[in-house]
Structure 1
Amino acid sequence: MDRAGLIEAVGRKTAGDGEVPAEQIGRVVDALFGTVAEAGVIADALKAGRAVTLVGFGSFHDVGGEASLRPGKALNEFIHDQAG
């Protein structure tokens, strides 16, 4: 899934309470993950030596100078059709 697909999918997931404009979703995606021109908050935190943890999804860490995602239990269970 590319950026446009992510924005569209988030829009579908949030449509229940009224439509969230794609432009606003795009700004949030860019703020989290960054753009070519500017790092996002996840990258900023990793560069500062902090981890970013999203309960159930996983955590982003700096492992030997490389960004790494450690999937959370809920994400692993969902991917492997084990979600309760």
Structure 2
Amino acid sequence: MRCVFCGGPLRSGTVTFSYDDEEAYVLVEHVPADVCAHCGEKVYSPAVADMLMEIAQKKTEPVKMLHIPVYDFTQAKRA
């Protein structure tokens, strides 16, 4: 299979999927995907995409919670 964006070769692997629902970020680790070796584009199977949608809609319980600092680039002070 080839990447639909750049034509590069796709390789099977696992990735971390992130989703922003305007109230919180959702991270899903160890997601099976085909990843383009050139541009990094990720392609998910229909079954994986369905499961990611369920997780993003918070239909499953998270395995852990993270505390993540957030910075605003426009407000960052220069050294």
Q: TM-score range by the shorter chain?
A: under 0.3
Q: Name the structure, 1 or 2, with higher relative contact order (CA <8 Å, separation 6+).
A: 2
> Under a length normalisation based on structure 2, what TM-score does the superposition of the two structures give?
0.26
- Normalised to the residue count of structure 1, the TM-score between the two structures is 0.25
